Structure 1
Amino acid sequence: MFSMELALQEEQSERAASLLRRAREAVWSGRGLTDRLLAFARQQPGRVEVCAVDGVLEDIEILSRPALSGEVALRLLPEEPQLQVRCDPGQLQNALLNLVLNARDEIRGAGRAGTITLGARAVGDDLVELSVGDDGEGMSDEVRRRAADPFFTTRRGHGGTGLGLAMVYGFVQQSGGDMRIYSVPGQGTTVRLTLPRVAGTPGLTVADSWADIPVGAGETVLLVEDEPDLLDLTRGLLQRLGYGVVTAPTAQAAWALIEAGQAYDLLLTDVFMPGGLSGLDLAERVAARDPARPVILMSGFALHPDMGAAGPRFRHLQKPCTPHVLARTLREALETR
């Protein structure tokens, strides 16, 4: 992804730039899928962050179109601008897509054409409500009361597992929200999710311009990464952002540099590395030697439970991250030391 970001800044044809942008989006989607799989397998906790609701709804519209046949229409209600929620964006996307597909099946079960309605609105100052409604066959009161129970399904012989709504309910509960189901037999069903609202202007996204990126002021970053290609790419990105860079291929090599008196302003290190000394071990040594030194840990497993109580002491970057997220994290760490 870093390679594509850097290549996009070079002169090239519009077609080449378009292909690079598509590849970049594919990498970002792959990260989201991996996050969801790891979270579902309980090998990695949910990635909680602030996400813009309008972007999530646009993604759902794109993702669900191929699964909807001609007799099922999808309609997005106008939502209030700049709504943001705090949750795992991948799990939110998965939950809404699950609800859309459930609504599709309800319409098909009614044996007629129908419409799925997807919308969002603010509820007071603290909540955002996202709704997925259909005009399908609806539910009886008994089915509605049991709809979120694990393994309860009315479509046992048609691919139903009874886990879809249970997982949606679990997600909103873990996110500090709630789920309500409203249904009338013969008239359809609406599922409403409420999630914590975040005030302010939506943050940077994967497609933001480099013109908005915060740059360095010549500070030196000690970069520790055991993968040679990624080390080289990250060094190039940091230099482009205005930083001096000193590199080390292992935590041991980085500590040797520090012991020898290497000057640096911030430590940016991968967490899991070979050789018996991890990035977290290195960070702990640096913190013991110089508590005010900014440290950023980066890893595909940066939020892994094995990091224990030490985790909150250091800033984290979860791979892959955009150059904007990297640049912003660097500035925050350097300016608040």
Structure 2
Amino acid sequence: MVTDSVSQDENTDTFKQRVTKFWQWYPTVAERFFQTIEAGKCGDLVDEVAEFCEATIPGLSWVFGPGENGGHSFTLSGEGQITKQLLAEYWLQRAPEIPKWNFHASRQATPAEFVKGFAIAVDEGKRVNVDGFQIRTHVDDERQKIDIIAWHPVLESVPKSQHFTILFLLVDEVLGEFGTQMWLGEIKIEPFTPDAYTRSLSELPEFISGVNTYHQWEKLPPLDTYTVYQLKETKSTPRGDTVVGSSLIPRLVSECIDNNGKLSENPLANTGAELIYIAIDSSIFPEGQQSDVRANIEDILTDSLAKELSGQTLGGAFGLHESYVDLLLVDGKESRRIVSETLTLLQLDNRARIESFVD
């Protein structure tokens, strides 16, 4: 029997159940929403949508936007938090075809023909526009990132505490939510004298495209990017025996190790999803094949969860005493049943246990 120390409130809908409710609801309101937006009354929908989303899929942000061929779009986003972004991606994977609507799991870049006129109103009626935002660029080929210094004259009269909020709102419009994470490295906001490396914010996408073509960077979206990590020295805490691993969300592992085996707060609180890891006795793995065997177990778990739309693996690690597989589960007890049965089929009974990343 696989040891399972994870518990969940049985009265709480799982994230899978919540997403099912969302997609049962949206087709019933889609045409009315479309007509309301067409009539220029999008604001009339805010309270209704906000109330439903807060009750059904809390912790995720939403926005209406332009769609294809004269349609409209609905975007659900984790606001740059990879853990929640994975939930948004799961939501998108469950989306049905609905006439006149497109759905996105991250904020999309505004089409070039519209972005030049985009601006944000700030204090005293002033506006920070995309064209007036000057960007000095520096290409870091080693990190495959573009460092920027940004400035707009109106920022002189805006509190510094608001500068980054304004810039990121505009950059997300120009590059899209994932584009900002993928391409930009160090970011500074300060006055500077324009030079040959300076361009307007509206020209940044074309510049990035040229840089990527020239350097032939092989960039993957954040949700497909695994980070390899190593512990310089082992610790006595849970997972402190880790030697090397890879993860979509390496912060989870590092915080778990530094915080005596638990995260300081639950990044998926109230969502109906959960983060767990499987600890497997490393002594059962053939010498020299530990990482390969753990990776095979990870692949089998991935397939088992995917078949039931019940979760996904996030990576894993090899330790001196145990090997680990990290998972995001979206269907509560059903997800854990799949994990437990898969481990049993792999003959890992009594050699593995399931642990939660949170209390």
TM-score, length-scaled by structure 2: 0.27
